[in-house]
Amino acid sequence: MLALGRITATMAICAALAGCGGDEAREDDPDLVERVIADAYEAPEEFAVVPKKPLIMPSDLTALPPPSADGTSRSEPNPRADALTALTGRPTTGSSGAADRALLAATGAQTARPDIRAVLAAEDEEFRSRNKGLILDRLFGVFTEGDRYSRYTLDAEAELLRLRAGGVWVPQLPPSE
């Protein structure tokens, strides 16, 4: 009787997994074999997608700015200059003043790790391998990313009250929905 129950459970699991094919495994997909063999699919880098700045029509076409010596376009994003403009409130001209250099030094901008994304991705992969959830939760799809990272989420209201109790000025929380 126990063997019949195991066989029934195995057949039910196989039937449930058979419906999980998705649209990617179509027979008429000519690139499927190459993608599987080369394992070429990688998710796009969400931080590498930077929108272009809008083009601005000058008021006088005879007084156009000279082209830049390094060949960059004014419509190309420059995250470092944009960050300095946001922090200081004035556009940067390429050479930063003493106050800007002091601000960058105080924030540690010059000591940032260039490989931080790769390091964080490796640490997150190791964290995910340790926190997979219970087998039945994974099997039936009830284990979510929210469950995996729930103990690391910040309770905004509790943090606001903690900071206020410590004498730190904090803005008011938006009204709850």
**Tens-place pLDDT, residues 98-137:** 777 787 788 887 787 888 889 999 998 898 888 777 777 7
State how far the Cα of 36 lies from the Cα of 13, in Å rounded to an integer: 25
Rounded distance between C-alpha atoms, residue 69 and residue 83, angstroms: 22
pLDDT at 18 exceeding the cut of 80: no
pLDDT in tens, 53-82: 777 787 888 877 777 777 677 677 777 777
Rounded to whole angstroms, the Cα distance separating 79 from 102 reads 18
**Do 139 and 20 touch, CB atoms closer than 8 A?**
no
State both tokens at 157. Answer: 């209201």
Give CA–CA dist 118/124, Å, rounded. Answer: 10
Q: Cα(82)–Cα(90) distance, rounded to whole angstroms?
A: 10
Residue 143 burial (CB count, 10 A): 17
**Low-confidence winner among 23-32, 43-52, 151-160 (lowest mean pLDDT):** 23-32
